[in-house]
Amino acid sequence: MLAKVSNLLKRFPTLWRIMVRIYGAQPFNPAKAKYQKKFGVDFNHKAEMQELSVIFDAQCLQTPTRKRGIGRYSISLIAAVCAEQPEKKFGVLLTTLTNRHDFEEALNELEVLNCPNLHVIIFDPFDNCEIVSFLQAQKDLESFLLSFKPAVIISLSSFEKLSCTIPISYSNSYKRLGVLYDLIRLQYKNDLLVSNYQVTGYQWALTNLHTSDSILSISHESEAGWRSLVAKDSKIRVVYGAGYRKGTLKHSALSVMRSGILCVGAEQRHKNIANLIKAYSLLDPSLRASHELTILGIHAIGARAKLKRFAKSLNISIKLPGYVNNVELEQLYSSNKLLVMPSLAEGLSMPILEAWEMGLPAVGSAGTVAEELIVDSDLLFDPNDVSSIAATIQNMLNNEFAWQQAAKTASEKVSHYSWKKTAKLVLEVVSEETKSD
């Protein structure tokens, strides 16, 4: 019954925040935190005990994060590193803290990579118990990892919920590299950290990441945010990322085959979706007639309904399809005319890189990582100024020469952001850390 009520509340974000503020008052306390067993696991996929010099903490793949940018980044990075050093054996860690569906989905994601040198290792903290303490799970996980004699653990799951992942703790026996995606929850804490538990849990996660031997930042924007908001003197290496690991469709830059405006966002305020919808309403009616606005990533039913009502109040219609799979996402990148990223903050903005990979030009917010990627001022707008967003979109859709130039530039730029380069940078850090022993 409680689970049904919880799921219902999550469909309506505002009500959910109110309930969390009322009932989520207890701070996170590692000494009191506990995990409860959700299902029994078949260990047929468990790797035989062997030496694995590098292990990826991929618990983020067994949570809803798997469907978002962090999940796509993580799975692509794992594949790229394995491909870069095929002669070496790599491990990838999953745990049994999730539900059976998400656990099996994570296994499937890893199996389809078809990396013969990648071995899945599964840690079950429960043994014959139904409940285990947070600290005991961490201690047992460290012992489990040590049985594989790793030189380095790369944590892809530093900011996952502490209730569904076991954070990798500091150890003298191996080097720990933590991936820094962004600090958006810290920048928008009034919206995204709505209870004492979330605040203290996030602070704990930041501290845990800070104790890493080295931090791998996915952009200069994230690195600057960390040095400004968390710790100025941290050891950080920017490793970037790229678009699709493998494209199933051959991209085309032919504008005659494209129509529509695409945005990949979320319901959170920093994604700035309301301003994008307002800007879309300011476009010439003829442009709106030939270029429908599609907004992806709004998962909450209540949030989608609210945005549809907002669009209707402006006498426009928009498409909010919710979750789409990778094939559907590629098709949208290939068929739309323009990607618009109006976010007030992003870690890397993978949709821009993915769009470029599919021949789709992008415009985005000045003063964010979009500026770091796009650079061209004609393709940037003030995200707080609706008229600026509208003017940039309208210019790109009305000016065929500008669109063709942007498409050509995007094709050239995307070559600078490859997973091969990212893998090499990550392996450089691995080499540096292991040589320092």
pLDDT in tens, 204-244: 999 999 999 999 999 999 999 999 999 999 999 999 888 76
Scan for tokens 């047929």, then name that residue: 44
User: What pLDDT, on a 0 to 100 scale, did the predictor assign at position 74?
Assistant: 95
Between strands 152-155 and 338-341, the pairing is: unpaired
Contact 419, 76 (CB under 8 A): yes
Q: How far apart are CA 208 and CA 203, in angstroms?
A: 9
Question: Would you say the CATH fold of 255-414 matches that of 20-242+419-435?
Answer: yes
Query: For residue 109, is pLDDT > 90?
Result: yes
319: which strand partners?
A: 294
Which range is least confidently modeled, 21-35, 278-292, 375-389?
21-35
Rounded CA-CA distance 214/223 in Å is 12
- pLDDT, one tens digit per residue, over 284-342 is 999 999 999 999 999 889 999 999 999 999 999 999 997 888 889 999 999 999 999 99
pLDDT at 165: 93
Predicted confidence at residue 247, as pLDDT, reads 46
179-192 tens-digit pLDDT: 999 999 999 998 89
Helix axes 2-10, 13-23, angle to 10 degrees: 130
What is the reported pLDDT for 5? 47
- Looking at domain 20-242+419-435, its CATH class is alpha beta
pLDDT at residue 194 above 60?
yes
Q: Which residue ranges make up each domain of the chain?
A: 20-242+419-435, 255-414
State the pLDDT at residue 199: 93
pLDDT digit string, tens, across residues 80-99: 999 999 999 999 999 999 99
pLDDT on residue 256: 59
In this structure, what are the phi and psi dihedrals at residue 59, rounded to the nearest 5 degrees? -65, -20
SS3 250: coil
- The owner of tokens 């985005």 is 364
Report the pLDDT value the prediction gives residue 13, as an integer from 0 to 100. 55
Which pLDDT score, from 0 to 100, does residue 24 have? 54
| Domain spanning 255-414, CATH class | alpha beta
pLDDT reported for residue 169? 87
**94-109: average pLDDT:** 93
